[in-house]
A and B are shown apart, each in its own frame.
Chain A
């Protein structure tokens, strides 16, 4: 796929400084979504997003914060090391505005061995999961919904095991839907 260089996707680390992880993420995102990537400086978590009762951050508030923080970026992907939630679910790995501008991934629950809650996994596995969830959430901002194909990156993952099972690639249908979306938005791939 050729690059659409005038569209900038900004990656924003939130309470997390891991330059290597951000670089790896940007590199993989570019292979799926042909835009330019810029890695922002580490920002603090927005205080008003913290739910004291649940001890977790409200993902929707963080998305609103990201959108307000940058009015020009084509898309904004936040990456946080804190635990996030939406009111209806006990936990989530990420959240995005469907067809919107902002997406968010939390690394909080991505670093363990499946079914062994506390046993840390290998670093390479952790990085792989962050990449898959990053692609997945960014995919939602292009209007893509969950896919039935368990190898497709757009399949919904509820456990780290689910993430490990899927690939970093979109299936044929999701690729078509992404291309359709670009065409609808009038973005030509030059």
Chain B
């Protein structure tokens, strides 16, 4: 039950596809099989994998040729070659072409396990590094909850009521609507205001660090645990624990959370002393959790525990009347921070802002104002200072703005997935060839020069 790790097995021999597929499924991996290199490459157009296990000798295109093509498209792909006894030469050739390793069929179980674990752990480490980078980047706060529209007035009333209780709160809303800001606001108005507000993004968590991060651990609980460490449950003691992107919690994490919420007690990893749970839980999600319960990816029992009080934050386009006051607020804050003289927004620019649809909600608005202050050359913000997509609602050629919108969108997705072509293509729902073509067309390059 451990892994969201996807493996592609490519072998012309039926019995190998079946037995290797079964073996990996028993380990909890998600497995796809292909009976030829051609079929595998076809599959790779629409799906991406964390590991490919490819037979070297196959009729038609052989494993080495497939390896070459895979590596051309995706230099970071992890490919392990499989060979029969006596064809070690081609295995060596494969290593030169960039294969991660090779194994001789039938596998020695011990060697096989070590190999897969190593690949899996490398992948985890890479993801963890990405998580750290992402956390640093995302931590910007986007201001307190601001608005005078009817939906916001209702929301503020609810916040007052909820702050007076100690119930579990589930906050739903599109990304960028300010779920964490709302949680913080409730915390600060509650009786736990003197305790800490501990926010943790479960979407950015990988499984190996989850358990020890949340529960803490005793010295010697596992290799590398040289000292005892407090977990977030303890750090949040007396305060509030905010679980962001709770819909992305792994199955294991869901069980952990359910257990703590049910028993109201927890123990450090490797520890014997039970501690009382003394924190309020708030959770947030930008997905429809009820949908996730239906498709089985989210536990129903946990959903009931979290869904005691539900708060829905409206999108920015549902409260357009708040846009001017929000825009002015961000302008005030950022003008000081950036040391700029610009102090107003022109009526034309404001019209663009109010008419735009804001898929990224308040956070996107904040970014747009910041950008306008950085690039702006006149005494107030004019439409030219705004991203082209926003001017679309005001004027300009539709084609041009569509291109700009696409360029902007793709570039953001690429950044989000650290320029992992497969994953980005997957979320954009286009194949990797198309993505490469777009990158070329728009002249996109990775900002930090890595990869």
Contact = CB atoms under 8 A, between A and B. Distances in A.
Nearest to A137: B26
Interface string A84-99: 0111111110001010
B2 interface: yes
B259 interface: yes
Contacts of A80: none
A145 B26 contact: yes
A60 interface: yes
B332 interface: no
Interface string A168-188: 000011101100000000000
B230 interface: no
Interface string B6-27: 0000000101101110110111
Interface stretch (B67-75, B101-109, B145-153, B426-434): B101-109
Contact of A145 (B19, B27, B109): B27
B338 to A, nearest CB: 48
Q: For B13, B19, B23, which residue has the most chain A Cβ atoms within 10 angstroms?
A: B19
Given A98-B25, A98-B26, A177-B1, A89 B19 contact: yes
Contact of B22 (A86, A172, A174): A86
- Contact-residue bracket for chain A: 20 to 34
A159 B106 CA distance: 17
B130 to A, nearest CB: 22
Nearest to B114: A158
Interface residues of B, number: 26
B110 A159 contact: yes
Contacts of B18: 60, 87
Given A60-B19, A88-B20, A177-B1, A172 B259 contact: yes
B112 interface: yes
A50 B365 CA distance: 69
B337 to A, nearest CB: 46
Interface string B72-107: 000000000000000000000000000000000111
B28 interface: yes
A87 B26 contact: no
A102 to B, nearest CB: 13
A156 B16 contact: no
Interface of A: 60, 85-92, 96, 98, 140, 144-148, 156, 158-159, 172-174, 176-177
Interface of B: 1-2, 13, 15-16, 18-20, 22-23, 25-28, 105-110, 112-113, 251-252, 255, 259
27 contacts: A85-B106, A87-B16, A87-B106, A88-B19, A88-B106, A88-B107, A89-B23, A89-B108, A89-B109, A89-B112, A90-B106, A90-B108, A90-B109, A91-B109, A98-B22, A98-B25, A146-B2, A146-B27, A147-B2, A156-B26, A158-B110, A158-B113, A172-B255, A173-B1, A176-B255, A177-B1, A177-B251
Return the 8 tightest CB-CB contacts between A and B, nearest first: A145-B28, A86-B19, A87-B15, A88-B19, A88-B20, A87-B19, A158-B109, A146-B27
